[in-house]
Amino acid sequence: MSNKVIITIAPTGGMASKAQNPHLPTQPDEIARDVYDCYNLGASVVAIHARRPDHLATCNPAIYHDINTRIRQKCDIVLNNSTGGGVNGDMVAQAPNGYWEILWEERIKGMEAGAEMCTLDATTINCMFEGKELLMNTPPERCRELAIEMRKRGIKPEWEVFSPTHILQDATAIIEAGLDEPPFFMNLVMGVHRAFQNAMPYSPRYLQAMVDLLPAGAIFGVSGIGNAQLPAAMNSLLLGGHVRVGLEDNLYFSQGVHATNQMLMERVVRQVRDMGYEPATPAEARQMMGLPLKQAPVRAEFALG
């Protein structure tokens, strides 16, 4: 499958609103519609964020389950639910000291809806959004908990990494502890540095540095944010990686023109093919990523408590 490329569609995310782009799907039927269209265009994985009926962010497993079920009734695309959540709605609260936090107890609910994969944000970051600084606190023990609970459920982690230290310190420590098995799927998120402290801007040089630091046995994709989406996708192909597009990462098709998920997918598939590659089917993507996982018992030395 040397010429096969896994294309991920990220239709919603946990930050953007319909006021920013009216095409953003937020409700289960809208998300399932866009995902099915993008599957037909060549997507093999979907990165799902859930929203409440009021369009704000949630990791409510009932809403995730609704989205997952609607998508699965239409196609066999690989389902990847977020444990990062979002920056409003159920996901945030203000602590007594005045600081805002993305709530850990809400984030972990993303594992409870039967997805094959879940994002594992093995990092602590500060996110700047609408005048607030939001702490997403994921210290080493929480990283271990996420990895252990995913392993128990037969869920494959998608390692979301934002900087070299997230690879070398956080993700690698968990991998070396035996809590994931190769191939390790690493999502290199680049270009979100204006909103996420400790994140890297996109450039070919920075992406090359990140790829050079990946653990042995890893495969990778790149999430280029905003106008980094297209160059990062093509750069990823040149380095042997996979690609991701969608309104979670980029709200515009061109300057001043709101995108749809379908527009972004159609363009990247055309470019992937122009580069001499072919979109992987969901079955091929599963084989490339080592899916499906069986529910795996956690060895005693990895157990919490």
Residue 304 has a pLDDT of 46
Lowest mean pLDDT among 19-23, 77-81, 119-123, 182-186: 119-123
Q: Which two tokens stand for residue 114?
A: 């039967």
Residue 2, pLDDT > 70, answer: yes
Contact 280, 73 (CB under 8 A): no
Residue 297 has a pLDDT of 52
- pTM of the predicted model as reported, rounded to 2 decimal places: 0.95
Cα–Cα distances (Å) from 50 to 10, 117, 254, 266, in that order, read: 11, 15, 26, 24
Residue 236 has a pLDDT of 98
DSSP 97: T
Beta-bridged to residue 94, according to DSSP, are: 100
305 band by pLDDT with thresholds 50, 70 and 90: very low
Residue 189, pLDDT > 70, answer: yes
In 218-260, which ranges are E strands?
218-224, 242-245, 252-254, 257-258
Residue 137, pLDDT > 80, answer: yes
Domain positions in the chain: 4-289
Residue 301 has a pLDDT of 47
30 band by pLDDT with thresholds 50, 70 and 90: very high
The percentage of residues in the chain with a pLDDT greater than 70, rounded to a whole number, is 96
DSSP 239: T
Residue type, 102: I
pLDDT tens for residues 73-119?
A: 999 999 999 999 999 999 999 999 899 999 999 999 999 999 999 99
Cα–Cα distances (Å) from 120 to 33, 127, 129, 186, 211, in that order, read: 26, 17, 21, 10, 18
pLDDT tens for residues 255-298?
A: 999 999 999 999 999 999 999 999 999 999 999 999 987 555 54
Residue 123 has a pLDDT of 86
Whole-number average pLDDT of the chain: 94
Specify the fold of 4-289: TIM Barrel (3.20.20)
Residue 70 has a pLDDT of 98
Find the helix packing angle between 261-274 and 28-41, rounded to 10°: 20
pLDDT tens for residues 47-73?
A: 999 999 999 999 999 999 999 999 999
Residue 294 has a pLDDT of 58
Residue 130 has a pLDDT of 87
Residue 87 has a pLDDT of 96
In the chain, which ranges are E strands?
4-5, 7-9, 45-48, 50-51, 57-58, 78-81, 92-94, 100-102, 117-120, 125-129, 132-136, 156-161, 184-190, 218-224, 242-245, 252-254, 257-258, 278-279
Residue 131, pLDDT > 60, answer: yes
Of 170 and 80, the structure prediction assigns the larger pLDDT to 80
CA angle 271, 277, 278 (to 5 degrees): 95
Residue 154, pLDDT > 80, answer: yes
Q: For the residues 199-220, what does the mean pLDDT come to? A: 97
Residue 302, pLDDT > 90, answer: no
